[in-house]
Structure 1
Amino acid sequence: MAVFVALGAFAMTLFGGWTAQRVTDRRHLVLGLAGGLMLGVAGLDLLPEALQAASGGVFGVPQGLLLFVGGFLAAHVVERLLAVRGRAAHGRVPQVGLTAAAAMVGHSLMDGIAIGAAFQVSGGMGATVALAVVTHDFADGFNTYTLASLYGNSRAKSLTLLVAAALAPVAGATSTLLFTIPEELLGSYLGFFGGVLLYLAAAEILPEAHHDHPGRSTLMCTAVGVGFIWLVVGLAE
């Protein structure tokens, strides 16, 4: 059942990527929406899950929150190091986009593992988790293609990463037939990846969206992205 549901995530991821590449004439709106989706996933989905799963404290700070900040800082350090090594045309470093998109693939893999683990607990929990994952995998596909292409990578590379992100949930769900991931380790990963997403949304995607078209329509797309994730999280509860 978990693998079958993951096929729905596969389709939604591809649909999200297809949407991102079809609206190139409204790039600022695409980036505004992508930034909102990433902000919503990081703050409304990943961080709460991380705090719940990795609730142990480290010097008075919850482990999930500490890794959330660590992910933000790690993304900043990686981008700065790559930027120092040499900038591509228009100031964009393609490796940053590839690294970020590859992280989205890793996140999609964990989505599949989450589906499989939830179905191991009960069918009801599996269905709830599946609803959240399949719906927000549209955002994963959208963001994977946007991140790769934004930094000057070729369409072929962007599409390759999109397909990898689509296949990842199926692989993750299949893997749970062999093992399960400890809850605390899963929470730690979610916290770290949430910090990475927050950095990319706040420091890269949203500034780029408003650079050439600082309008209310772009801001509205960002709000719609956040609201969409809020709706998904609420329906999954």
Structure 2
Amino acid sequence: MPILLSIAAFLMTLLGGLVAHRVRERRNLVLGAAAGVMLGVVAFDLLPEALTLDTGKIHGVPLPMLTFAAGFLAVHMVERAVAMHDTHEGDYAAHRHSHAGLGLTAGSALVVHSFLDGAAIGAAFQTDTTLAVAVAIGVIAHDFTDGFNTYTLTTLYGNARRRAVTLLALDALAPIAGATLTTVIPIPHTLLGAYLGMFAGFLLYLATSDILPEAHTPRRATGLTLTATLAGTLFMWLVIGLTE
């Protein structure tokens, strides 16, 4: 049963990537919606889940929040180190996302996240079937946005369509692998909470520092882009609320 439900997540991930590809001519709206979805994932999904999993503190601060800050700062330092932001702060029109490695890193992080989604399905079936079905519904709905963001982020940083499709395929297969593996090997909660916090920081930085500025470059409909960002955030709130 966990594997069958993870196959549904596989299909939803592919659907999300397909939607991102088909609407690429409205790039500003795609990027605006992706940023909103990423904000929703961080605020409504990753951080609450991370704090639930790990209540331990280091010098008065929960471990997931420390890794959240570390993830945010790590990608910031990487970008600065490779001189990606070598233009003036207001000169986003001339800015080109040519660092393909960062796009691959972002896509790979989403693959890991999808793996953990599948692992959540498998782990839930080890405790309570009703809970497992609720978790599976949330994962299936959530993986549409994972597929959408995987394709969008990978192509945003200058990667070829072939690489984006490859990462999308891995992202789609990841929940099946996670659900299968969790039936054999459980994931420690402390490790999982730390990873989710770090991933949240990583996503928040990409959404605020790269995706939103790119979505609002000159000659694009700012009002529609803002609406797309708001819609993406509200969509994630709806998805998370339906699974509670």
> For the Cα contact (< 8 Å) 1:83–1:93, is it kept in 2?
no
One-letter amino acid of the counterpart of residue 7, structure 1: I
Root-mean-square deviation (CA, aligned residues, Å) is: 1.5
Q: Tell me what 2:135 maps to.
A: 129
One-letter amino acid of the counterpart of residue 223, structure 2: R
Q: Tell me what 2:89 maps to.
A: none
Q: CA deviation at 1:211?
A: 1.2
In the alignment, the residues of structure 2 paired with residue 82 and residue 101 of structure 1 have an alpha-carbon distance, to the nearest angstrom, of 19
Q: CA deviation at 1:80?
A: 2.6
Q: CA deviation at 1:151?
A: 0.9
Q: CA deviation at 1:124?
A: 1.4
> For the Cα contact (< 8 Å) 2:10–2:176, is it kept in 1?
yes
Could you state the TM-score of these two structures normalised by the residue count of structure 2?
0.92
Q: Which residue of 230, 236, 244 corresponds with 1:223?
A: 230
> For the Cα contact (< 8 Å) 2:110–2:146, is it kept in 1?
yes
Deviation digits for residues 134-159 of structure 1, max 9, x if unmatched? Answer: 10111100000001101111111110
Q: Tell me what 1:31 maps to.
A: 31
Identity across aligned pairs (percent)?
53
Q: Which residue of 184, 195, 200 corresponds with 1:194?
A: 200
Q: CA deviation at 1:214?
A: 4.9
Moved more, 179-188 or 200-209: 179-188
One-letter amino acid of the counterpart of residue 196, structure 1: F
> For the Cα contact (< 8 Å) 2:123–2:183, is it kept in 1?
no
Answering whether residue 66 of structure 2 is matched by residue 74 of structure 1, we say no
Instruction: Map residues 79-228 of structure 1 onto 2, 5 A cutoff.
Output: 79-83=79-83, 90-212=96-218, 213-228=220-235
Q: Tell me what 2:91 maps to.
A: none
SS at match of 1:181: coil
In the alignment, the residues of structure 1 paired with residue 137 and residue 66 of structure 2 have an alpha-carbon distance, to the nearest angstrom, of 28
Q: Tell me what 1:5 maps to.
A: 5
Moved more, 3-12 or 210-219: 210-219
Q: CA deviation at 1:163?
A: 0.4
> For the Cα contact (< 8 Å) 1:82–1:96, is it kept in 2?
no
Q: CA deviation at 1:115?
A: 1.1
Runs of 5+ in structure 2 lacking a partner? 87-94
Q: Tell me what 1:22 maps to.
A: 22
Number of residue-to-residue matches in the alignment: 234
Q: Tell me what 1:235 maps to.
A: 242
Deviation digits for residues 8-28 of structure 1, max 9, x if unmatched? Answer: 110010000000010121000
> For the Cα contact (< 8 Å) 2:134–2:243, is it kept in 1?
yes
In the alignment, the residues of structure 2 paired with residue 208 and residue 122 of structure 1 have an alpha-carbon distance, to the nearest angstrom, of 44
Deviation digits for residues 107-130 of structure 1, max 9, x if unmatched? Answer: 111111111111111111111211
> For the Cα contact (< 8 Å) 1:31–1:206, is it kept in 2?
yes
> For the Cα contact (< 8 Å) 2:155–2:161, is it kept in 1?
yes
One-letter amino acid of the counterpart of residue 49, structure 1: E
| Structure showing the higher helix proportion among its residues | 1
In the alignment, the residues of structure 2 paired with residue 119 and residue 228 of structure 1 have an alpha-carbon distance, to the nearest angstrom, of 27
Q: CA deviation at 1:63?
A: 1.1
Q: 1:91 to 1:105 in 2, by over 3 A?
A: closer
Could you state the TM-score of these two structures normalised by the residue count of structure 1?
0.95
SS at match of 1:121: coil
Q: CA deviation at 1:91?
A: 4.8
In the alignment, the residues of structure 2 paired with residue 101 and residue 176 of structure 1 have an alpha-carbon distance, to the nearest angstrom, of 22
In the alignment, the residues of structure 2 paired with residue 177 and residue 29 of structure 1 have an alpha-carbon distance, to the nearest angstrom, of 40
In the alignment, the residues of structure 1 paired with residue 61 and residue 2 of structure 2 have an alpha-carbon distance, to the nearest angstrom, of 34
One-letter amino acid of the counterpart of residue 161, structure 1: L
